[in-house]
Each structure stands twice: as C-alpha cells, then as structure tokens.
Amino acid sequence: MKHVGQRPGVSSATEKHGRSFLLLLVGLVLLCPVQAGAVEPAIFLPAQEKAPHKFILGTGQPRGICPDLLQAMQKLEPALRFEGMDRELSLSLIDQGLRNGSVGAACGLLEQPARHAYARRVETPLYVARQMVAVRSNDDAMPASLAELRKLAGKQPVITVRGSAQGAFLQGHGFRIDESTGDYQANLRKLLAQRSRFFYGGEFALRRAIQAAGLQGQIKLLPKVIHEEAIFFWTSRKLSAAQHERIERALSRLQASGELARIVRSYQDQP
C-alpha cells in the first residue's frame, strides 16, 4: 500500500535520512554567528629578562608595571587575554618572537626603527625612561652628557647589561661597552673591581639593583640624566588587527583616566 505524499521508489528510511541531513545543515548555519564571535586566543606576552621594574617574578603572581597594566587593560577590553608573563625571555628573543609571531605582544620596549618591519607600535607611550650612570662612591666623576661620558671613560669600556637597549644606544654613539653579563649584581661587582669606571643603564633598574645588593655605601647613582626616551607597547604584525585595536583603545583610556601614570609611579617610587 502506498502512503499519501510518498514519492514512488523512495523509502520512508531514505526520507528520514534526508530530514536528518537538512536538520544538520540548519544547525551548522545557526552556529555560524557563534563561531564569528568566538573568544580570541590569548596573546603570548613574556616577561623581559633583567627588567625588574617592569616584571617582578618569583613572588607568586607576576607583578610590576607591565603585569599591573595588562590586568587593567583586560578589565577595559574583556576580549583581551594575555599569558606568558611567568616566562622570562631576553630582548633579542622577544624581537625574534615578534618577527615570527610566536610572541604576540611586548610591553615596555624603546622605539627602534628596524622593529617596525615586523611589529606595530602602540601610539600611547607607557612612560619616559631615563638613562643614568652608576659609579663607585669614591669617584668624583660627574658626566652630564654623552660627550662628557665618552671623554671620562677614555679607552675603558662602559658596563651595560647584555642585550640591553642601553648598550645598543651607546654602541650607536661610538662607545666601547662591556656587556659580558645580563646580571645586574655581577655588573655591580665588576664596577667595584674597577673593571670599568661607569655602569650605564635605566634609572630604576640601576637604583633597584644597588639597593637589592646593599651597596648604597659603595656605589652611587649620579643625578644627571644622560638620555631620555619614551617606552612603548608593541604587537606582532601577525597578531590580528582587531586585537591591536583593542590594545590601542585600552591604553588610550588608561592614559586619559590617569591610571597608566598611577601604575608606573607606584613602581618608580618604590625603593
């Protein structure tokens, strides 16, 4: 007996399979908007090695200017998620990661023309870094400029942290440098051992290193600022434009509200 509405030669089982396939297609179509609004993957942002005011590790949750800043950014832009701050990488490895996309973003790097080929600079500066000089306490040298520092250093190399932007800056201005180690404490010991007359670096990193080593009576940080330069947030060109724009918006809002300056000041004012 034929059923009403059944096409000749088509079984009821075949029709059931057809209806199941149509339902599956409808389900996939309905899921498309969900997929379009899917959660963005976390952005890998490692800690910069030997940057104690930017990243403070080994005390549980990462602290410092950058971790606090990233938390504030995530509150303003919930689609932003950062990971990797518990892992330290050298500046050269961070740049390599920005180039190949394994590092999604970097917090607190100086302007560098070559970096623009593989990374985008967020326009809001984080703060201004002041580069200064540390000497032995019994040294009466008081260089107030690069020219004076070069003259007083003579043929001796100036100590810098290995792989640092400060070392590259000095080399670009014709200085001989000693960057044999990235350890601040080891560099302070070299200064005391008279391996060089000057240790050149960022103000806050030098200040923290001297205090952490308990060398305030043997090493002093000279008051003259030799060079100032803005510090920026960077994203890999392989990171999505949408994520870069979220970072831009968040940092702009933090600057406008004064929260960015408050975060920076809270670590710069610490001993």
Q: Judge residue 176's burial from the number of C-beta atoms within 10 Å of its C-beta, 0-12 exposed, 13-18 middle, 19 or more buried.
A: middle
The pLDDT value given to residue 105: 98
Sign of CA dihedral 180, 172, 163, 135: positive
| Sign of the dihedral through C-alpha 231, 88, 221, 150 | negative
What pLDDT, on a 0 to 100 scale, did the predictor assign at position 3? 42
Q: Is 228 exposed, middle or buried (0-12, 13-18, 19+ CB in 10 A)?
A: exposed
Spell out the domain ranges in the chain.
Answer: 43-127+231-268, 129-228
CATH superfamily, region 129-228: Periplasmic binding protein-like II (3.40.190.10)
Top-tier CATH class for 43-127+231-268: alpha beta
- 8-state DSSP, 195: S
Confidence (pLDDT) at 36: 44
pLDDT score for 38: 59
Q: In Å, how far from its chain's centre is CA 236?
A: 11
Amino acid, res. 91: L
Q: What φ, ψ does residue 80 adopt, rounded to 5°?
A: -85, 130
Question: Do the domains spanning 43-127+231-268 and 129-228 agree at the CATH topology level?
Answer: yes
pLDDT of residue 19: 53
pLDDT in tens, the chain (271 residues): 444 344 444 445 445 555 554 444 444 444 444 344 457 899 999 999 878 789 988 777 889 999 999 999 999 999 999 999 999 998 889 999 999 999 999 999 989 889 999 999 999 999 999 999 999 999 999 999 999 999 999 999 999 998 788 888 899 999 999 999 888 999 999 999 999 999 999 998 899 899 989 999 999 999 999 999 999 999 999 999 999 999 999 999 999 999 999 999 998 765 4
